[in-house]
Structures are given as C-alpha cells and as structure tokens.
Structure 1
Amino acid sequence: MGRRVLLVEDDASIATVITAALEDEAFTVHRCDSIACRDRMLGEHEYDVMLTDVILTDGDGIATLGDVTACYPDLPVIILSAQNTLDTAVRATDTGAFEYFPKPFDLDELVRAACQAADATVSGAGAEPDLPEGLPLIGRSQAMQDVYRMIARVLRNDLTVLILGESGTGKELVAEAIHQLGSRKQGPFVAVNTAAIPRELIEAELFGHEKGAFTGAVSRNIGKFEQAQGGTLFLDEIGDMPPEAQTRLLRALQSGRIRRVGGREEVTIDVRIIAATNRDLAPMIADGSFREDLYYRLNVVPIHLPPLRERDGDVPGLAVHFLRRAAAEGLPQHSLSKEAASILAAQPWRGNVRELRNFVYRAALLSREEQIDAATVRQLLSDRAEADAPAAAECDFAGTVTTWLAGAGFAPGTLYHAALAEFEKPLFEHALKETGGNQLRAAQLLGINRNTLRKRLDDLAIDPEGFSQRG
C-alpha cells in the first residue's frame, strides 16, 4: 500500500490542486473540511502524514492539534494557513508541526515536505503557547513570512542570531519577538547600541568595571552582560564595534565568562546573544575592520529582514497599525481611505518602517478629519519633500562644480588631482566631524579602507585630533 495522507482543507479549489500534486507522487489522499471529519477519519484509517489548514468550517485547526498529537504522536503534521502572522507561525511551530506553509505556498515545496514527512517520525506536541499580546511585527508579505518562519525555528533553542537589514526595518523588534516568545522570556531583555557608546567606554559598558578601574570609576558597575543574566542581550549595530572590543566579545562568547574592566575574577554568564547590523560585514572582514572569527560566532542563524520596498502589500496594514498605536498614545483617532493607502504603498520609504511610522504619526497629529484622505496624504508628502530637500540652488551639485571649474585656472595635467583634492578635503572633514575624529568609523562611513583614509588625511594636512571633542 502506498503512502496515505489526510488533507484537512475547507477550500475546495486548493484541496483539488494539492490532491492532484500529491497523487502524482503516488500518495493516496483522503480529504475533509472540518475538525469533526478529521477526527473521525483519523480514527478509521492510518496515515503517513496530515496536511491541515488553520481556519476550518468548525473551528481553529491549530487549537485542537494537541488532542491529535496526543493520540497519534508519530503522525507528522504540515500546517497551511492564510492567517499569515507571526502569531500563526509561532503557534504552528509550537504544536510540533513538521512544517508550516503560509498561503500562497510553493506547491513543489509542499509536496517535497509531504514526501519527507511521510518517512519521518515526529513526536512531542506541547500545549498551545502562552503568547504575549501586541506581537511587535506586522506584515503578511511573502518576505515577512520567511522572517516569521525563521523566528519560529529559533524560539526553543539558544542559538546565536544575527539580524541583517537596512536602517529602520525593525531589527530590534525581531530581537524582542525572539525574546518574548522564546524560552528566556522570563529573563531580562537588554539592548545596547554599540555605535552609540564612545570607543573608550564600550568595554566597561558591556563587561562592567571595578571601582578605580579608570578615572571617574568611583564605584563598581555591572555591565550589560551581567544585567542580561538569564535573558537576552541584543547587540545592535555590531558592525561599528571597535576591534579591541570585538576581541573581548569573542572571548566572552567562546568561554561563557567575562571579566570586568579592572577586575581579576571571571564571572560566568548565561545569556542568549542576538546581534544586528545594517552594514555589509564581508568587505569589513576583508579589510580587517571586523574579525572573521567573531562573524562566524555571531552568524549561527542569520535572519535577513527585508526593506519595506520588498514587502509587497504590507504598507497599508502597517499604516493602519500605526494609526491605532498613535490613538492609544493620545493622538486623535483616524482611519485611512483606500486611495490614501494606495498612495502610501507607492512611496519608496527609504527609511523603511521607521520612516512610515513617523509619517503616519505626523498625519494623525495634523489631520483635522476623522478619515485621512488622499488629498491630506499628498499634501503631507509635499510638505515633507519641501522640508527635507535643500533649495534647488544648493542641491545642484553638478552645476556648482561646473561653475567652479569654469573660474579656476589649472596648469595642464593637474586638473584631475587638484579638483579631487578640493572635493576630498570637505568630505573627509565631514566624516571626521560625524564620528568625533574616530578614523575607523570615518573610514567605515566613507566606505574606504582605514589605511587609505590615513594616507589622504596626511596628504591633505587634515589633523583628526581637531575633531575628537565633538559630543
């Protein structure tokens, strides 16, 4: 007798497509559309795998899976769902499901999973998890479904996670979700932005310090690692961590112990590490500004957080979510017209979710009507563009350069290098101002090698010490 599958799906068209694909792989398919029918058929027949939708004609398919797995602990279950939220992904994973597929799914992948599940033994279900209200991630795009599935897979272990994504995509929210839904949720969640800590203080901030360890250390200080004991330590902007701190962090991850600055005793640490960066670490490893061995310690489970422009269809839902949050925080309550939502969905949102949130809050504050309409959105977008953009004369960079070249006299053969020097000097000075004279971070900001920066600073007679007092 061939492999037998129970397909629990109340959408007849989807059930027909899945049935045909499974029968092509020599499965015998039994179909039903309700929890009651599922339970009856499980009692009457033996199955190698069960595929089930979440929302069925008579209830929640996930909520009742505990009874199924208790009676049939060796039956692999694949969950299908159009309820494409992080909540659903986590609930599906916590049932002990073999796999979870949000709709629409790749039919070939589903069939492949069914074939694998039919030859596997899955046991141990567990009760429906106690999920916190107000899960921090919103979005039902395929890109976010991939994120949800990765989050769900790391909740029941302490593997180190590296979250990669552009600024404003919500990396800290992903870290919070992993903590809130994971086995360490009863412990503290400690977040630290490594880029915001002065270079000379970062080790004391992370590992703590003893009294008298340095000027100003008037008492013992417990660092972020010890503050996060039993919980999660989130290291944001890890790509901006200076090399000497990278070395100490690597040692802590390898040994599970830290030593406070100025201290002699080692402290055993019990924390889960989640790191994040908006930088491409590969070229930093190549030029020596980021340790390769630390990268592999952090990059055990990478989660790529998509920019908003790749999250098809998520903008309107996010906008409505932010309107509700704005109202909960005391701003006027508003709804959003369909046309207004379409306009928002068409925007590039280079600042990603953070930029969208700020815009929606501004609209909630300034809109006088209960419903934010298309005209209001267009006006606010226009006002924002005028406020953000310099005057036309100031932003015409090419025109300014052309005018300058026309009035400058250069000896033959010197034009390129002379013009380059004129442009580089204010560029490097700006980078040094932005980084408080830190040459490593200035080189990272510019996207060049630190040695190249040093050479050009010498050539242009720029003293980086003159920028070190910037706050």
Structure 2
Amino acid sequence: MTEAILLVEDDASIAIVITAALEAEGLRVDRCDSIAGRDRLLAAHSYGLMLTDVMLTDGDGIASLPPVRAAFPRMQVIILSAQNTLDTAVRASETGAFEYFPKPFDLEELVRTVRQALGSNEAADLSGADEELGQALPLVGRSPAMQAVYRMITRVLRNDLTVLILGESGTGKELVAEAIHQLGSRREGPFVAVNTAAIPHELIESELFGHEKGAFTGAVARHVGKFEQAARGTLFLDEIGDMPLEAQTRLLRALQSGRIRRVGGTEEIALDCRIIAATNRDLVPMIASGQFREDLYYRLAVVPIELPPLRERADDVEALSRHFLARAAADGLPRRQLSAGGAALLARQPWRGNVRELRNVIFRLALLARDDVIDEAAIEPLLAGDVPALPRAGEAGLFPGEADGEGIAGDGREDFATALARFIEEARPEAGTLYDAALAAFERPLFLHALAQTGGNQLRAAQLLGINRNTLRKRLGDLGIAPEDALTIR
C-alpha cells in the first residue's frame, strides 16, 4: 500500500498545485492549512511523509515540530518556506528534516525529493531539535543563488566532510566557513583561520604543522601549528590555490593519513579538526598546468560550495545595505536610513569587489553622510570616487623632515601619480628601498586624514579606511602617530 502524504500549507494555490503533482504520481495526499488541522490528521492517520510550510495561520511550522518528530520518528519531513534566510534553513536542518525548499521552488525537483524521502528507511536524527542558536547568523540574502548556498551549508552541519568554498574575492567565503563551524557539531571548539597566501613559502609548513626546537635556524622553541591549534574545532585554509606545491604534498599526506608530524619531529599526531578550504582562483586550469595537485583538489572538494558574485544577486543588495547600516550603528557610527531611491541605485552597481566593497561603501556613507536618510545624492559622489581631499602636506606637516612644506601630497591639487613621481625624484631612495619609502610616505597622510575625519576615533578611522582596527593600531605605532596628532588637521 502506498504511504500517504500530509501536506500542511495555508496558501491554497500552492497546496492545489503540489497536491495535483503528487497525485499524478499515484501518491495519496491529505491536506490542511494549520497546526491544529495537522495534529488532528496525525492523530487519525498514518503518514510516511509530511510537507509543511513554516508560517501557518496558527503558528510556526518549524517551532511546533519537535513533539511531532518525537511522536512519529519514522515520518519524513520536508519543509517549505517563503522565509528564505539561512536561519530558516538551519532551523529546518535541526529538526532532522529530510529537505528544505525555499519558495518559489521547482515542482519537478520537489516531486523527485518526495519520492526519495518515501524510499528512505533511515530514522530521522533528532539531536539538537530543541537547541537554540543564540547568536546572529553572519549571512544575509534571500535570492535563489543564496538559497542554494544555505541548503548546501545545512547538508554539511551534521558531518565532518571536507568543504571547498569557491568564489570571487569579497563574496564572503570566510563567513560561510564560520557559519559551518558555528552551526555545526564542532561549535564548542576553536575556529582557526589561515590565509595561506600571506605566509612566506619557507614558513608555511611550520605554520600549519608546527616545528620542534632546533628544527631550523631560528627555531628556538617548539611551535604548535594550526592543525593542532584547531583540535576539536575547524581549520579554515583560505586562498588554498596559492599554496606552494611542496606544502600541497604535505597537506595531502596529512588529509590521507589523518596524522601530521611537526617539522623536525618524529612524533605522529592524530588530526581532530574539520577542514574547510577556500579560494578565489579557478583550480581546474591550475591542475592542468601543474600548479595545483589534482589529488589534493579531490580531497578538498568533497563538498564544494560556490558563492555567487554580488552582481548575480542584485536582489540582496538592499537587505545587505540595511544590515551593514545596522552594524555600523552598533559600532558607534551615526544611525542612518536608506531611501528607496538609494537602495535602487546601489542595486544597479556592478560591485566588482562584491559584498566586501558594498560593506565598505555603506560604512563610509554611515560615517560621512550629512543627513540621516541616505539617498541618491549622498551615494552618487562616493560611487564616482569623489571623496574628501587630503589635507595639504605643507599645512599639516605630514612628512618627516618636510620643513619646506613639500611632500607626496604636494599642494593638495596634483593627482597621486604626479605626486608619487615627484616624491621618487626628490627623495632618491636607495635601490631596494623604494617600496617601503613610498608606502610609509603615503600611509602617514592617509592615516592622519582618516583620524582627522573621525575626530581621532581609531575604530571609525579603520572603518573609513576599510581595514581592521588592530591593523590600523599597529601601523600607527610603527609610524609614531598618536590619534591626537590628527586633531589639528583641518
């Protein structure tokens, strides 16, 4: 006898379409539009599968599921929802739902999934059904492209499969890695992030696997590597496409064996961490050219998750912008609102720097806008690159030893390329020192200007610059700049 299906859906048109499609497959469907109706039917009949909406006429379909799952543990559940956020996808996953479908959904795919659910004999995993997340989720967006990402995230929360996150710079790869860690079974352990592109090639093995005292010149003590630091947690290997081949070989060996050995050591250490890797590079042509190991690729890409660029999810720009405005206000910046016209203008931009670029623009607008409501007039100059001019070098005394008022900023009117060329000609740096000299000369007026714009507030200055506050604090110390040094600049 064919197992019956219970459909709990308060949108009559959707309920009719789903019922017709399932009955055309020879399946029996009972239908109701509320939690109360659901409970009456469950008390009177036996069902192999329940499809339920989240927002019903008398309550939350997910929140009311735990007692149902406890009473009918072998009944599969598929959740349908127009509340298309990562929070909803995770809540659906935590109930042990067989699948989660954001609306609008592909009807043929839903029918196939119903067949798969009815054919599954696995009991639902009820662990974590009553668990509260208790924290804000880091991903924002309800576009179909982001719904696919959410569904992939929920599929890996209950296992330790290796995940490879692909996407352009600024799409939020580390946020996805953090979400998998924070919402998964290893959330109580550490989340250790490593930018493999930022580690000198000769030190990468030591950073990842650790080293013993005396393993090489300068190894004056034992160093515990990132794999060990991530024990019982998650190791996030960012920019994995930039890892040198020698280190790729050792990483592959570690993943294959599940054990590592510190540089210069003999003891084998068992791995106890989840591996998540990410890259903005296309690894397939790199494999073909011998720049990336094919066997390592398949070890890392057990579950690939591809993040869409922001230009392919323009519908999410407004929600992201409002989210960042709220974040900016929470960080102490003025509380701003976004007009409908401003939101439409932002949604039309190409955002080559993706979500990271949008975030920086929104934080600058929160800091610099003259009105509480940010509209097109406030946004257009910033998008065109019309930012406040740097103060005159001579007036501000921005460069060491510039008693004559000259410096890389010149008189404040020449373009940067001309000023840089003049700086090089006049400074005549020694061979091998030009980069450091030019960088120091540029950073000093830039940081002073940012501090002047923010009244000496380092947090706001870092947000204006689009860099980490700790990075700013370190560079200010390196350059001998105190926040109050900038307060005399006008």
TM-score after normalising by structure 1: 0.80
Instruction: Give the SS at the match of 2:275.
Output: strand
Aligned to 2:41: 41
**Matches of residues 119-198 of structure 1 in structure 2 within 5 Å?**
119-124=119-124, 125-126=126-127, 127-198=129-200
Paired residues of 2:212 and 2:263 also in contact (CA < 8 A): yes
- Aligned partners of 1:386 and 1:25: how far apart in 2? 65
Aligned to 1:73: 73
My pick for the range that moved more, 352-361 or 284-293, is 284-293
Q: CA deviation at 1:128?
A: 3.1
- Residue of structure 2 aligned with 1:199, choices 190, 198, 201: 201
- Residue of structure 1 aligned with 2:367, choices 365, 368, 376: 365
My pick for the range that moved more, 1-10 or 162-171, is 1-10
Paired residues of 1:74 and 1:123 also in contact (CA < 8 A): yes
**Matches of residues 154-303 of structure 1 in structure 2 within 5 Å?**
154-303=156-305
CA-to-aligned-CA distance 1:181-203 (integer Å, 9 cap, x gap) = 01100000000000000111111
Letter in 2 for 1:242: P
Aligned to 2:378: 376
Q: CA deviation at 1:37?
A: 0.8
- Residue of structure 1 aligned with 2:325, choices 276, 299, 323: 323
- Aligned partners of 2:3 and 2:25: how far apart in 1? 9
CA-to-aligned-CA distance 1:48-91 (integer Å, 9 cap, x gap) = 32110011111111111111111112211110001111111111
- Aligned partners of 1:185 and 1:267: how far apart in 2? 22
- Aligned partners of 1:132 and 1:176: how far apart in 2? 15
- Aligned partners of 1:312 and 1:3: how far apart in 2? 42
Instruction: Give the SS at the match of 1:78.
Output: strand
Instruction: Give the SS at the match of 1:313.
Output: helix
Instruction: Give the SS at the match of 1:131.
Output: coil
CA-to-aligned-CA distance 1:79-124 (integer Å, 9 cap, x gap) = 0001111111111112111211001101111122222323333523
The change in CA–CA distance for 1:11 and 1:122 in structure 2 (over 3 A counts) is farther
Aligned to 1:23: 23
- Aligned partners of 1:210 and 1:362: how far apart in 2? 46
Q: CA deviation at 1:2?
A: 4.8
For structure 2, which runs of at least 5 residues remain unmatched after alignment? Answer: 390-413, 418-434, 436-490
Q: CA deviation at 1:257?
A: 1.4
Count, aligned residues: 394
Letter in 2 for 1:66: P
My pick for the range that moved more, 187-196 or 125-134, is 125-134
Q: CA deviation at 1:26?
A: 2.2
- Aligned partners of 1:269 and 1:47: how far apart in 2? 43
Letter in 1 for 2:23: E
- Aligned partners of 1:65 and 1:122: how far apart in 2? 18
Q: CA deviation at 1:385?
A: 9.2
Instruction: Give the SS at the match of 2:51.
Output: strand
- Aligned partners of 1:85 and 1:264: how far apart in 2? 48
Paired residues of 2:314 and 2:348 also in contact (CA < 8 A): no
CA-to-aligned-CA distance 1:317-369 (integer Å, 9 cap, x gap) = 00000000011111111010011000000000000000000000010000121
Letter in 1 for 2:92: A
Aligned to 1:354: 356
- Aligned partners of 1:185 and 1:375: how far apart in 2? 44
Q: CA deviation at 1:47?
A: 2.1
- Aligned partners of 2:138 and 2:307: how far apart in 1? 14
CA-to-aligned-CA distance 1:144-164 (integer Å, 9 cap, x gap) = 111001100001110100001
Instruction: Give the SS at the match of 1:333.
Output: coil
- Aligned partners of 2:274 and 2:2: how far apart in 1? 45
Aligned to 2:338: 336
Instruction: Give the SS at the match of 1:190.
Output: strand
Aligned to 2:113: 113
Letter in 1 for 2:24: D
My pick for the range that moved more, 228-237 or 208-217, is 208-217
Letter in 2 for 1:104: P
Query: Does residue 94 of the first structure (1) align with residue 77 of the second (2)?
Result: no
Runs of 4+ in 1 over 6 A off after TM superposition: none
- Aligned partners of 1:313 and 1:386: how far apart in 2? 31
The change in CA–CA distance for 1:364 and 1:298 in structure 2 (over 3 A counts) is same
Aligned to 1:397: none
- Aligned partners of 1:204 and 1:270: how far apart in 2? 18
- Aligned partners of 1:374 and 1:141: how far apart in 2? 24
Q: CA deviation at 1:23?
A: 2.2
Instruction: Give the SS at the match of 1:84.
Output: coil
Instruction: Give the SS at the match of 1:383.
Output: coil
Letter in 2 for 1:160: T
Aligned to 1:449: none
- Aligned partners of 2:82 and 2:122: how far apart in 1? 24
Identity %: 72
- Aligned partners of 1:132 and 1:281: how far apart in 2? 37
Paired residues of 1:75 and 1:121 also in contact (CA < 8 A): no
Paired residues of 1:32 and 1:38 also in contact (CA < 8 A): yes
CA-to-aligned-CA distance 1:22-62 (integer Å, 9 cap, x gap) = 22222232211111110001111222321100111111111
Paired residues of 1:91 and 1:128 also in contact (CA < 8 A): no
Instruction: Give the SS at the match of 1:282.
Output: helix
Aligned to 2:394: none
Q: CA deviation at 1:20?
A: 1.9
Paired residues of 2:192 and 2:226 also in contact (CA < 8 A): yes
Paired residues of 1:162 and 1:303 also in contact (CA < 8 A): yes
For structure 1, which runs of at least 5 residues remain unmatched after alignment? Answer: 395-432, 434-471
- Aligned partners of 1:347 and 1:256: how far apart in 2? 46
- Aligned partners of 1:238 and 1:43: how far apart in 2? 53
Letter in 1 for 2:107: L
Letter in 2 for 1:191: A
The change in CA–CA distance for 1:4 and 1:384 in structure 2 (over 3 A counts) is farther
- Aligned partners of 2:388 and 2:22: how far apart in 1? 57
Letter in 2 for 1:147: V
Paired residues of 1:250 and 1:297 also in contact (CA < 8 A): yes
